[in-house]
Amino acid sequence: MAIPRLAIDPFDEAFLADPYAHHDALRDAGPVVYLEPIRCFAMARHCEVVAALKDWPTYVSARGVGLSDFATEAPWRPPSLLLEADPPLHDRTRGLMNKVASLASLRDMMPGWRAKAEALVERLVARRHVDAVADLAEAFPLSVFPDLIGLREEGREHLIPYGATAFNAFGPRNRLYDDAMARAAEATAWVMDSCRREHLRPGGWGALVYAAADRGECTEAEAERLVRSFLTAGVDTTVNGIGNMLYAFAQHPEQWRKLREDPLLARKAFEESLRWGGTVQTFFRTTSSDIGVERETIPEGSKVLLFLAAANRDPRQWQRADRFDIARSASGHVGFGFGIHQCLGQMVARMEAEALLAALVPRVAEIRLAGAPVRRLNNTLHALASLPVELVPANGECKT
């Protein structure tokens, strides 16, 4: 059997507006496919996506995890020392960053995050009609994450546009890419400047990265670039992870009732929302050698597109894969990736989601859709621009 050649363009706007409608065709065509419109190989089944993510010596990241090959094209910004690096460099930078983003330092934040979430949710329930994107999914992460890093106050509105730009830049040079780049200058300059030592507050994760530089674990220039990773990867991802989770509950009121009956399901519910409707849809790798597939060869230097979100709904892996069911075990999902590059900030994301759910569950009987959700198209992220909802107050009948 040959590698099937498909005419699907996973970055055209019809695909990006509703990626899940196209995943069956990608998965069912074969374990590896070739996508003619973008001229690269792709995998959409759970087994193959996990195998490729595990095999970092073959499927490398240092040539970029977007369509652009850094071996032949200049990257739009200096490459990330984490995302766009391979061992041995990656082991050193990731080891350093793992210590900064420690669970212990996060646990100390939790009481403050919970209090912030409660105050926010109380204000919103009183208003009743809110935009779950602007008022919850954006407002909550922006009220905790920049302070965790120790970012300066002025200019924080650039964080989401910068994230959107970085994630659009993984795609081909389509309209989304060009529009993002045309508007990127100010946000990019602000983010770069915010990564400098003198702009980071003592005690924040940014300052901790510079403390590692002071101990000789990295250079000053590397510290600056590593802080940039927090700002690139930490905002638009959690914003849309929370937004997609709230949208999942708005579409499945019975799942919200189930969570209210058993609030300890909150952690599982967030994992299931990442599996069912995750935020990061795709990442590329580049092959470091020829790979035999069927009776064909994926040549060295090929871009391979990994459909994380399709793997997460692969019926070969999950029963009733298309059902959002917060009581199932979603473990094994690749919404945070897999292997050596698996999301560094995943505990931040989980804690943000949990703080918000802990505030919402006792106060909100139903997250009721109150208008048409609006998508914000992005080459990598499944994102929402707006989600009008009615937060139906709980009147204290909840157990918690």
User: By CB under 6 A, is residue 238 in contact with ligand OVM?
Assistant: no
- Total residues at the site for ligand OVM (CB under 6 A)? 8
Residue type, 161: P
Question: Whose Cβ is closer to ligand OVM: residue 4's or residue 75's?
Answer: 75
| Omega before residue 88 within 30° of 0, cis | yes
User: By CB under 6 A, is residue 240 in contact with ligand OVM?
Assistant: no
- Stretch touching ligand OVM by CB under 6 A, among 128-136, 208-216, 228-236, 258-266: 228-236
Question: Whose Cβ is closer to ligand OVM: residue 167's or residue 318's?
Answer: 167
Question: Whose Cβ is closer to ligand OVM: residue 46's or residue 90's?
Answer: 90
In the complex, least distance from residue 153 CB atom to ligand OVM, rounded to whole angstroms: 23
CB of 195 within 8 A of CB of 227? Answer: yes
Structure tokens at 165: 């730009």
- Stretch touching ligand OVM by CB under 6 A, among 76-84, 151-159, 270-278, 295-303: 76-84
Residues 311-350, one symbol each (x = binds ligand OVM by CB under 6 A, - = not), give ----------------------------------------
Question: Whose Cβ is closer to ligand OVM: residue 249's or residue 284's?
Answer: 284
User: By CB under 6 A, is residue 83 in contact with ligand OVM?
Assistant: yes
| Degrees, nearest 5: CA angle 189-146-247 | 105
- Phi and psi of 282, rounded to 5°? -150, 155
In the complex, least distance from residue 341 CB atom to ligand OVM, rounded to whole angstroms: 8
- Phi and psi of 208, rounded to 5°? -65, -30
Paired with 292 in beta bridges are: 297
Distance from first CA to last CA of the chain, Å, rounded? 57
| Degrees, nearest 5: CA angle 17-62-331 | 55
- Stretch touching ligand OVM by CB under 6 A, among 29-37, 77-85, 300-308, 357-365: 77-85
- Stretch touching ligand OVM by CB under 6 A, among 55-63, 78-86, 267-275, 303-311: 78-86
- Whose tokens are 């329930």? That residue is 125
Q: Which of residues 150-179 bind ligand OVM (CB under 6 A)?
A: 166-167
Out of 61, 68, 80, 288, point to the residue binding ligand OVM (CB under 6 A): 80
Question: Whose Cβ is closer to ligand OVM: residue 77's or residue 328's?
Answer: 77
Residues 6 or more apart in contact with residue 70 via CB below 8 angstroms: 62, 63, 64, 79, 84
Question: Whose Cβ is closer to ligand OVM: residue 67's or residue 233's?
Answer: 233
- Stretch touching ligand OVM by CB under 6 A, among 75-83, 104-112, 135-143, 258-266: 75-83
Out of 233, 334, 383, 389, point to the residue binding ligand OVM (CB under 6 A): 233
- Stretch touching ligand OVM by CB under 6 A, among 1-9, 67-75, 229-237, 312-320: 229-237
CB of 380 within 8 A of CB of 282? Answer: yes
User: By CB under 6 A, is residue 97 in contact with ligand OVM?
Assistant: no
User: By CB under 6 A, is residue 195 in contact with ligand OVM?
Assistant: no
In the complex, least distance from residue 233 CB atom to ligand OVM, rounded to whole angstroms: 3
CB of 240 within 8 A of CB of 138? Answer: no
In the complex, least distance from residue 232 CB atom to ligand OVM, rounded to whole angstroms: 4
User: By CB under 6 A, is residue 229 in contact with ligand OVM?
Assistant: yes
User: By CB under 6 A, is residue 82 in contact with ligand OVM?
Assistant: yes
Residues within the interface to ligand OVM (CB under 6 A): 80, 82-83, 166-167, 229, 232-233
